[in-house]
């Protein structure tokens, strides 16, 4: 056990003393958790194999699951990749700094400990100013997965990081609530036609407007365990609450009735029930712990609240969660991807 210090830091008035201390920890091979605009990350110097290994140990992460390397300027990626395709340049001009991660071919400077043993590397330049300052002070190449214990929902508040990693890391920078709330979009540029390996705030349409044809990894959309997603991390039952989770889809009225019936049965059987409803529907639910995730059309709000709500249900020790289903418009695809994974693809149609 080590003592985990939490330091508050403001994005609009960054205390550079704190950033320098944190940067020193990173340069000397230690771990620092920090806010990004998507979720909190757990950082280590990506160029030090031993530092990357500490990330896997602290998170309990399978060693074949590669890390994202965070940079603070596009030109810096030259040092760790074999070549920069035109599409990477175009995408960086359109979306960096921001919630887009690009997969490129790595060179020998980057240790395999950082990439889970594979020859490609995921790279992202976040827009959060605390993150950018830290990356700079930490040496420019910061490997950072989401700062949760492997398998838990990603942290959207510093206290979520503390819940998971207290005693395992020396420092958490508390920059308040993150903006987006779900992880970056990942696009693989190692093939001729780019492939989205993980949907996020930057949608397929937004990407296609910049680079033309873009495909979605079939492993993302499929329930069938035979179609493996290409991003190693997407194959785990990830983003998951402790409770069993079921998504109920169908006409709104039918969904409400179905969830009410199932909740009643579960309660009778002595189970604790959680319900993810929306502003429009929460008043119609009758049993269990009912939480609104936002308005049905408010995709940004739903994304922002999702992981926090899953963690709240964990805290309340619910045994089963019923969730409404959401439209796949805009960020909806990313939201449904995370929700389906949290539910292990258990979906019921309410008729």
Which residues make up the interface to Mg ion (CB under 5 A)? 146
With b meaning 16 or more CB within 10 Å and e meaning fewer, what string describes 149-183? bbebbbbbbbebbbbbbeebbebbbbbeebbbbbb
How many residues contact ligand TXA, by CB under 6 A? 29
In a 13 Å sphere around the CA of 53, the CA atoms on its Cβ side amount to 6
Q: How far is the CB of 65 from Mg ion (least distance, A)?
A: 9
CB 217 within 8 A of CB 230: yes
Bridge-based pairing of strands 347-349 and 289-292 is unpaired
Residue 67's binding partner out of ligand TXA, Mg ion, none, with CB under 5 to 8 Å set by partner kind: ligand TXA
* Binding string, residues 59-98; x marks residues near ligand TXA by CB under 6 A: ------xxxx------------------------------
Q: Does 179 bind ligand TXA (CB under 6 A)?
A: no
- Secondary structure in 3-state letters for 238-272: CCCCCCEEEEEECCHHHHHHHHHHHHHHHHHCCCC
User: Strand order of the sheet with strand 185-188?
Assistant: 5-8, 171-174, 32-34, 41-45, 142-143, 68-70, 120-124, 100-105, 185-188, 195-198, 215-216
Q: How far is the CB of 267 from ligand TXA (least distance, A)?
A: 35
Q: Which of residues 122-161 bind ligand TXA (CB under 6 A)?
A: 122, 124, 126, 144-146
Q: Does 101 bind ligand TXA (CB under 6 A)?
A: yes
Q: Does 231 bind ligand TXA (CB under 6 A)?
A: yes
Cβ closest to Mg ion, residue 118 vs residue 329? 118
With b meaning 16 or more CB within 10 Å and e meaning fewer, what string describes 288-316? bbbbbbbebebbebbbbbbbbbbbebbee
Cβ closest to ligand TXA, residue 56 vs residue 287? 56
Q: How far is the CB of 223 from ligand TXA (least distance, A)?
A: 18
Member of 44, 103, 189, 302 binding ligand TXA (CB under 6 A): 103
Cβ closest to ligand TXA, residue 38 vs residue 292? 38
Q: Does 234 bind ligand TXA (CB under 6 A)?
A: yes
Residue nearest to ligand TXA (CB): 233
Structure letter (DSSP) for residue 146: B
- Which positions lie near ligand TXA, rule CB under 6 A? 36, 38-39, 41, 65-68, 101, 103, 115, 118, 120-122, 124, 126, 144-146, 183-184, 186, 197, 230-234
């Amino acid at each position: 056990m080590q003592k985990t210090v939490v330091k508050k830091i403001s994005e609009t008035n960054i205390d550079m003393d704190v950033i320098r201390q944190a940067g020193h920890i990173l340069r000397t091979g230690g771990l620092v958790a920090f806010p990004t605009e998507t979720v909190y990350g757990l950082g280590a110097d990506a160029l030090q194999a031993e530092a990357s290994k500490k990330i896997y140990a602290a998170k309990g992460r399978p060693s074949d699951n590669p890390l994202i390397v965070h940079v603070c300027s596009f030109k810096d990626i030259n040092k760790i990749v074999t070549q920069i395709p035109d599409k990477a340049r175009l995408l960086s001009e359109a979306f960096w700094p921001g919630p887009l991660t690009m997969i490129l071919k790595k060179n020998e400077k980057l240790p395999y400990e950082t990439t889970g043993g594979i020859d490609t590397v995921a790279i992202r330049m976040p827009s959060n100013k605390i993150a950018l300052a830290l990356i700079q002070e930490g040496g420019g190449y910061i490997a950072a997965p989401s700062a949760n214990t492997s398998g838990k929902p990603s942290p959207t508040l510093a206290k979520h990081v503390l819940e998971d990693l207290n005693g395992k890391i020396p420092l958490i920078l508390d920059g308040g609530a993150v903006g987006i709330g779900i992880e970056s979009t990942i696009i693989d540029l190692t093939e001729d036609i780019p492939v989205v390996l993980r949907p996020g705030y930057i949608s397929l349409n937004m990407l296609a407007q910049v680079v033309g044809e873009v495909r979605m990894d079939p492993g993302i959309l499929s329930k069938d365990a035979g179609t493996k997603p290409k991003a190693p991390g997407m194959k785990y039952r990830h983003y998951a609450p402790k409770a069993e989770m079921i998504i109920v889809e169908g006409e709104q009225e039918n969904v409400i009735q179905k969830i009410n019936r199932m909740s009643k049965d579960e309660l009778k059987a002595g189970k604790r029930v959680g319900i993810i409803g929306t502003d429009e529907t929460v008043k119609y639910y009758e049993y269990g712990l009912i939480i609104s995730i936002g308005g049905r059309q408010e995709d940004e709000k739903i994304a922002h609240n999702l992981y926090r709500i899953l963690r709240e249900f964990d805290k309340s020790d619910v045994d089963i969660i019923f969730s409404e289903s959401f439209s796949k418009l805009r960020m909806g695809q990313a939201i449904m991807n995370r929700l389906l994974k949290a539910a292990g693809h258990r979906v019921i149609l309410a008729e």
